[in-house]
Chains A and B, each alone.
Chain A
Amino acid sequence: MTNQTSILLAEDDELLAALLRHRLEKGGYQVLVSRDGKEVKEYLSQTIPDMIICDIMMPYFSGMELIDFVRNELKLNVPIIIISSAGNEENVLNAFELGANDFLSKPISPSELLVRVAKELKKNKFEA
């Protein structure tokens, strides 16, 4: 179990978080769910996950701020996938500019998310 790939899922919607968590765990990943930005920050100060999946709209600390925090303050190269219902062009561009690796617009397909996670992790492994 210790060798499992860990994923930090930052999603304030409990139902969706539970659903995605189940899907990712079934896909063989170890998933930790954070309900808001504060929790995410606390978790990141203790552990570095292999991947971060975060919603843009979160209490206390938005997804954009989280990317900025991870890339510029923690200087981490962890792959970040953004999930958002506000999938307009500006949001997508901003997310990518800040350093997000992928963007999924709601409604999302959990199977698609799983494939994208695998792809990003593989890519990150090769880059490392």
Chain B
Amino acid sequence: MKRSLDTYFLNTLFVSPQVNTDLLWTFTLIFVILCGLYFGFIFFFRNKLSYRTRAIEKRKKELTPMIVEFLFYDENSHKEEQTDYINLKVEIRELINSSFNRKVLIDILMYLRKDLSGATLSKLFKLYQELGLHHDSYEKLKSWKWQRISKGILELTQMNVEESYVFITKFINDKRATIRKQAEVAIITLKAEGLNYFLDTTTYRISEWQQLKILEVLINKKNYLPPSFNHWLMSKNNDVVLFALRLMKNYNQSDGNEALIELLKHRNSDIKLAAMSCIKEFHVVDALENLKLVFWDSKIDVKIGILDVISSLGDIQEITFLESVVAKESNFNVKSKSLACINIIQPMSVLPTIDIQATDIFTTPMDLPRVEPEEQIIIKKSSVATEPNKTIRNEHDIAEDRFSPLESKVEDKPPNELAKSIEAKSTIEVEQQEESKDLSDKQTLDSFNLGFLPLIISPEEGPVSKYKPNNNFKIAGAISDLEVVFQEFRNSTDEAQKGVALIENTKNNLSKIVAEFLPLVIPVEEKSERISELNEPHDYTELTVVYSEILPETNFHLTPSAINTIDMKDIRNIECDVNEIKNSQRKSDTDETSDTPEIYESLASKRVNEKSALEWVLSENEARLEMKQKLKSILKEQDGISFKLPKPIFYNEREANTMALLDDIEALGDSREIPLLNDLHKNETEITIRERMAYLIVKLEGTEVLKRQPIKPNSEVVSVFEKNFSSLAVQSQLIMLDEIALVGDEKEIPFLRRLIAASSEKISKKAEKCLGEILVKLNSQKQKPEELNPPAKKTKTVEEGRVVRKENIEPAEDIIEKIATKPFNVFDIDFDIDMEQEDLKDAK
């Protein structure tokens, strides 16, 4: 066995370490415990975080309405609202004793800050300080954790706590970059002089990003007047100098030219470049000498910058310097830039030289045999060639003559026939006017349709009679020598006849169509002619169109039953129809009136003649009234129910009052009112009132005398503050007493007396003071009762309030301005009772 084991061990290449199994178990156990602890911690902290988040959310929901109430509290609201507001204040005072609540409040305010603007934002800032939440932020500044400090600075900046400026300035040179940057932005945001302080004191670098952020803050600052930034051009901090240069450029401050020139000699290339940028922007020509001076010892990017400035500010005098740069400078970019500068100052003074060949190389080649590049098209009449050939060229020909020489053959025909023949079978003769005429070739192209071309004749021929049958002519020579006569082609006689026939057909068709639905079209001079006569030729452009309105068929007879169906509103429409009929009669005799209804017949048959227009109008009005009455009478007869309704009774003032009195007696009275009713009944003359009185006497005779309880005055006056007072902490009770002193009245006196008698010394003293203030206030009210009881000062319902608001809507700007300028102090000013101007006026 042992031997076999040895063999086994010897043969194996890997030997597993012999670890004690117990140790392995121990390690496993430790690992499991650690895992358990790890997951336990994760579970615990995760739960804790989620619980905290839930708690914060819950508290946020509770606190948000309070914050909102504070933000939109109106100082002029009615007393109930003011009381609620005081209770809310007391409640929130108690809530902010807890650090958790304060944290949640800060979160809410910080969150709302980004969504609000205007007067509400100002109120938010005030509220933050009124609640003393800025003290929490100050506490954060004392922390050793950079994130807490940074958060504190951010809160104070966002909530615009100007008092924190002094505390934040301490962090300007903090070694931790995050805090430093936060502090830089904060002091610039909080105060205008923050930038001066920052530029004066900072010893650290200012990153490009930070410079941009600060610039953004400055741009967004309202009414910001930038200081003269040239003061910081002498700073020991290069970044400050650089930033100052950039700010100078941004705000166009050109009052530091000398400093800018001096900065060209600065060791720092960035400052040099920034200075050059300013020099270029402000056009500081005096800097040219210094630019040239520092050029040779500068870096390449600075050299290029200098050349750029020289090209912008320099003149011809700088070309010598630039040429020397080209000659001496080895860097390609600088050289190219200087050449470009020369060309900018003196355009085209430097020409391309690289790969440019010498002029001698270029030789003029031998003359080639001269070839006329163009072909000339000659159009001539084929029969008689009496005139020298004239060359006709146009774009169409030039384009085509390369492909085929053309010969045009124009026959001797009158112009109209000539045109036809050209259109039908035109022949174009093309002659190539070369030295060798043998090469000329004539081809006929019957397929070309040249009908669209104008006729062109030579000037020697003079004006040719257009209708002369044998007017032969030949066209040749240069096109510039030709006189063009534009000839209008007219249709031949046959065609004209065809045209006339066509027009006649059209007329016939037209007459048919007109007979069907079109208005009558009659010539002015022949008004009496019928439509059928339109077949005769007329100049249709000279015709006058007479419009005759074709009325819809109105061949109905108004029977009494039919009239009943007519609404009275439709009478107007009927009248319109009458007018139309009358007008149509005047215009045309041809209109038929036989189908008009019977009721209109008398009107329609009357012609408006020369007697008088007035007579006609009167007669028409009469007829109209007659018709209305007729219709009304018919309707009355039909509507029998309307006659059965009682007529309305209109009371005079005395009668109305009596009826109102009777209404009251009916509602509230008993048998004791019967004698009064009897007296009234005797004196009353109006039958309806007498009847009413008699009815009431009968009605009240059997009633018992009502036993009315006298209204007792509410002897126990309860203060609205008393209910909540006992449940508050001492601090809150003191605050409430302050508020009672401001808004309280006589109802608070018993409550205050009780407090004085049975309270702690602190509360008792405060209550005593409060009571004194209320008494003084009440005394002064008694002296001026008329001023303090304005008639208009009453509690409005929501609906009433809405109506008032709607009626007195002020312009938006006024409201916003009013809100913005109105002083707001949550805890101090809220309950100052100010008499409104209107109220004072009313009181006077």
Contact = CB atoms under 8 A, between A and B. Distances in A.
B605 interface: no
Contacts of A118: 805-806, 809
A109 B812 CA distance: 11
B119 A28 contact: no
A22 interface: yes
Contacts of A109: 116-121, 816
Interface stretch (A13-21, A38-46, A93-101): A13-21
B72 A23 contact: yes
Given A26-B72, A109-B121, A110-B72, 11 more contacts: A15-B112, A19-B116, A22-B68, A22-B69, A22-B72, A26-B74, A107-B116, A107-B121, A108-B117, A109-B119, A119-B812
Contacts of A13: 115
Taking chain A's interface residues, is the majority helix, strand, or loop, or is none over half, making it mixed?
helix
A119 B16 CA distance: 89
B816 A111 contact: yes
How many residues of B sit at the interface, in one of the four size bands?
20 to 34
The residue in B114, B806, B812 that gathers the most chain A C-beta atoms within 10 A of its C-beta is B812
B801 interface: yes
B72 A107 contact: no
Contacts of B116: 19, 107-110
B19 interface: no
A18 B65 contact: yes
Interface string B58-80: 00110011001101101000000
A4 interface: yes
Nearest to A19: B68
Interface of B: 60-61, 64-65, 68-69, 71-72, 74, 108, 111-112, 114-121, 798-799, 801-802, 805-806, 809, 812, 815-816, 819
Given A107-B117, A110-B120, A111-B120, A15 B60 contact: yes
A59 interface: no
Contacts of A23: 68, 72
A76 interface: no
Contacts of A107: 114-117, 121
How many residues of A sit at the interface, in one of the four size bands?
20 to 34
A56 B486 CA distance: 70
A35 interface: no
Nearest to A106: B115
Contacts of A115: 812, 815-816
Contacts of B72: 22-23, 26, 110
The residue in A26, A108, A118 that gathers the most chain B C-beta atoms within 10 A of its C-beta is A26
Given A108-B115, A112-B118, A18 B68 contact: yes
Nearest to B114: A107
Contacts of B117: 107-109
Interface string A20-58: 001100111000000000000000000000000000000
B599 to A, nearest CB: 43
Interface in A96-128: 106-112, 115-116, 118-119, 122
A18 B68 CA distance: 8
B189 to A, nearest CB: 16
A16 B67 CA distance: 12
A3 interface: yes
